[in-house]
Amino acid sequence: MAGGVIKCKAAVAWEAGKPLSLEEVEVAPPKAHEVRIKIVASAVCHTDAYTLSGADPEGCFPVILGHEGAGIVESVGEGVTKVKPGDTVIPLYIPQCGECKFCKNPHTNLCQKIRITQGKGLMPDGTSRFTCKGKQIYHFMGTSTFSEYTVVADISVAKIDAAAPLDKVCLLGCGVSTGYGAALNTAKVEAGSTCAVFGLGAVGLAVIMGCKTAGASRIIGIDLNKDKFAKAKEFGATECISPQDFKKPIQEVLMEMTDGGVDYSFECIGNVGVMRAALEACHKGWGVSVIVGVAGAGQEISTRPFQLVTGRTWKGTAFGGWKSVDNVPKLVNDYMAKKIKVDEFVTHTLPFDKINEAFELMHAGKSIRTVLNL
């Protein structure tokens, strides 16, 4: 059962827009239905940078960011039955309680059991397990993986194969699962179809992988950064284009390239203008566009209603539609069986104390994913 307070290293975001600061923090033991995890590896995702920038309406400071991690259960609070100390786990920013109306509905993965407290940066009982220099530090997305130890709700952990390399499968905690599921679960891409993927970062590459798995015959990658094209083709893109090479809007270019538009399009950036272009690049009568990227606070999407009246569908997805506790272990097994790529997303590996360098690499467009070894 749970021991005492653990002192360890964590990257604390004291305020928006400032680099993270490596600090010694105290991590309290898990309370009832909570799990304390020793984080072994954590990757850096654009969502961490989005909150750090101050653009996130739910951003609270000071906070320990990070939501793409993997580790080993150190201790459990009372009433925890699904995991035990020593288990290999991935923390989940979308939990799965199995009891709420969302969990019971097959059409969604958006468990709401701890949503309100999670959005406030707190554990389900309304308190934090982190302190630093006498101050309470907020949790992030119910995971806070930029710490050597973290505490999460017991519905926010997936127990995975103990043989899985944690410095790779941590990516299944967010980006890879999100993009892959956007294609397979949300869009339900059909064999022989034509797809367009806007934004060729980790999520976009994972969408390409999903489209390829589904048997799409044409997968068009779109990004301003042409350095990303080779990697996209490695993942299954059949061609790549940059909007800067054309005088006309990119949706018109795509409609010309595909005899009227694509069957499926995916926005993997979080830019509302690109979301519109992605919808309008879809074929009349049956085209489906999926929003995967997270736009800034207060931004709105727009198009003419005629786009939808004439048979296009606009959808969104979170964590690729996967019910997390059920599916993350299966995704890990698929990776272990070489059915999905994960290693290929990792372009850089750094020690934990170089975390700010990982953010710089991402902003410079030089990395797909940087994994930090804690």
Q: Residue 288: count other Cβ atoms within 10 Å of its Cβ.
A: 23
Q: Is 195 an annotated catalytic residue?
A: no
Q: Is 282 an annotated catalytic residue?
A: no
Q: Is 111 an annotated catalytic residue?
A: yes
**Given 34, 47, 211, 312, the catalytic residue:** 47
* 3-class secondary structure, 169: helix
Q: Is 238 an annotated catalytic residue?
A: no
Comparing C-alpha atoms, which of 151, 198, 153, 184 is closest to residue 27? 151
**72-109 as b/e: b if 16+ CB within 10 A:** ebbbbbeebeebeeebbbbbbbbbbbeebebbeeeeeb
**Given 33, 103, 211, 258, the catalytic residue:** 103
Provide φ and ψ at 329, rounded to 5°. -60, -35
**Given 33, 36, 46, 283, the catalytic residue:** 46
**Given 100, 344, 347, 357, the catalytic residue:** 100
Element (H, E) at 253: helix 250-257
**Given 8, 23, 60, 97, the catalytic residue:** 97
Q: Is 313 an annotated catalytic residue?
A: no
Q: Is 103 an annotated catalytic residue?
A: yes
Q: Are 35 and 157 in contact (CB under 8 A)?
A: yes
**Given 45, 170, 211, 240, the catalytic residue:** 45
**Given 67, 129, 283, 348, the catalytic residue:** 67
Q: Is 47 an annotated catalytic residue?
A: yes
Q: Is 132 an annotated catalytic residue?
A: no
Q: Is 100 an annotated catalytic residue?
A: yes
Instruction: Give me the count of residues in the chain.
Output: 374
**Given 33, 143, 174, 240, the catalytic residue:** 174
**Given 74, 111, 150, 283, the catalytic residue:** 111
Q: Is 174 an annotated catalytic residue?
A: yes
Comparing C-alpha atoms, which of 232, 285, 230, 294 is closest to residue 262? 285
Q: What torsion, rounded to 10 degrees, do the Cα atoms 188, 167, 34, 63 define?
A: -90
Q: Is 115 an annotated catalytic residue?
A: yes
* Active site residue ranges: 45-47, 67-68, 97, 100, 103, 111, 115, 174, 369
